[in-house]
Structure 1
Amino acid sequence: LILFCQHPALCERLKNVRVLLYKNPSLVDEVRALRNKNEFGVGFKILDSIPAVIYLVARYHRSLEKGLNAAVQVSLAGDSDTIPAMVGAILGAYHGFSTFPKYWLDQLYDGTSAWEKRVSAKREQQDLGFISWKEVLWQTDKLYSLVP
């Protein structure tokens, strides 16, 4: 990424990503480093979010849960949803739906009930019956796992 970077400040922060990855810091030191506005930043602007996202995805590419937990810890000092949302989207796409912890999904019901009602109403209009949001996500994950 550094080779294709054309924005000097972003290039510098991407270099910091590489340096921090080689240091392999503890979570506490990692959070402290990523919150440093002069080296990374944890805001909603591209310059303040993308370097942290790239670092977290590279560091935690083996574990969606650890990656999201680290993203939340890092972003508590700044924009608390942008960085975790991007890290979760990338790691979720990489690992697939089945890697999301069940206890996380069990807590989503209330947050998705309005969406579930819309899906249900649409299905009833089409006379296809009701399908749960979990089934929709499972089928989507199954579909994407078939793509080469």
Structure 2
Amino acid sequence: DARSPTREPLARVQYLDIKTYLVGDILTKVDRASMAHALEVREPLLDHKLVEWASRLPASLKLQGGEGKYVFKKAMEPYLPNDILYRKKMGFAIPLASWFRGPLKEKVRSAILGPVLAQTGYFNADYLRELVDQHQSGLRDYSTPLWTLLMFESFLRLNGGEHEQLEP
């Protein structure tokens, strides 16, 4: 069912997360990573009875003082150290920032400052150079716009760079 079974805002967001982000992103990544290493992975906290029970909890037990999973963390305190329970989420982020400063440094520089993007007429070459320089020097993290530019450059290169000039 594509509709949330509740009108409570936090529960609706969690329902959306389960139906989209969890299934389409997180569980897919876990599945691929585990299969690549011949591991059989289980997600005991996603047992349908536990998820249904947790979804019926009031928001005050799910989120308190900005701390998510409040009731779960309180229940686990006798079993896990606080530095594990209350540490910052780690997630599955790809380390683009460090890759663009390290092993992909020259690829980023040559693609973004090369002829393909320049020939579009869409970009200010000085600004692109500043973006790359500031990121690669560690001054700023521009990994997201650099990734977008890399994908656009790759798209243009693979599709012959054919485009219509946009009118201002």
Q: Flag the structure with more relative contact order, 1 or 2, with Cα contacts below 8 A and sequence separation at least 6.
A: 1
TM more than 0.5: no
TM-score range for the pair, normalised by the shorter chain length: under 0.3
- TM-score normalized by structure 1? 0.23
Given the two structures, how large is their TM-score scaled by the length of structure 2? 0.21
